[in-house]
Amino acid sequence: MAETAAHLVDHVIPRVPVRQWVLSFPIPLRFLLAAHPQLLSPVLQVVNRAVSTFLIKQAGLKRTEAQTGAVTLIQRFGSAANLNIHLHCLVLDGVYDTSADEPVFHPVRVPTAEQLQTLLNQIIKRVMKLLTRLGYLVEEQDRLFLAETDAAMAPLHSAACTYRIAFGPRAGQKVLSLQSVPRFDAQPPQHLCANAQGFSLHAEVRCAMNQRNKLEQLCRYITRPAIANERLQLNRAG
């Protein structure tokens, strides 16, 4: 994946500031998106349009006279190699004014915590509306429920989302997890993170225009596989 990261930095992402926007979903929607991966494309369109509109407003421009840019990596795993579909969006931290003959880039202000929370609420509302319109969520008595799915992988998806064992004598039980001892030099709490209804939107990480090495490290992180192949070994059972 190092080649992919280098290509993004050298040939895709222009030399402007870049901010990472990470959107995580509640467990029921992780299960839904795993069972119906075709939904990721329209969901991503909703997210990109919401963030793009926010940046254009931050720049004081109209959508008809501005363009944004983003590269999104869809990760399907969490830190414990569990099923956790979430979006890593590398978004240009500004907009291009296209009203003149040559596009001119305008950086934008850092979003406030209140703006981030408002944006997340907009994304939640639009994603839920989309999934309801497509028939994957059912509204009853002012509540939304997942429509039934007959996917053969449903038990595995459900178990992987909730850290539970899918089959065997311990089916349904929580898997054993090892947690590290808290460090005294832990990083301070991150302020650019909004949470609501099981969703989270994180926008703390930013790479300045001249921080291309930092950007490449970020690209390597979000393009990595769930398990490094070079760390796998065959046992006696093959």
Q: Read off the pLDDT of residues 5-26 as tens digits, 9 standing for 90 and up.
A: 999 999 999 999 999 999 999 9
Answer whether residue 114 is part of any domain. Answer: yes
3-state secondary structure of 14: coil
Our CA dihedral for 71, 75, 116, 65, rounded to 10 degrees, sits at 20
Q: Considering the domain boundaries, does residue 184 fall inside one?
A: no
User: Which H helix or E strand runs over 135?
Assistant: none
Residue 115's closest CA among 201, 198, 19? 201
Place of tokens 């209804």: 197
For the chain, what is the domain count? 1
Asked whether residue 183 is assigned to any structural domain, the reply reads no
Assigned domain for 216 exists: yes
43 domain-assigned: yes
- Quick check: is 214 in a domain? yes
Q: Within a domain: residue 178? A: no
pLDDT tens profile 29-67: 998 898 889 999 999 999 999 999 999 999 999 999 999
User: Which residue range(s) make up the domain with 212?
Assistant: 2-166+191-226
Tokens of 159: 């178990």
Q: pLDDT of 175-191, one tens digit each?
A: 666 555 444 444 445 68
pTM for this entry? 0.81
Pairing of strands 104-107, 66-67: unpaired
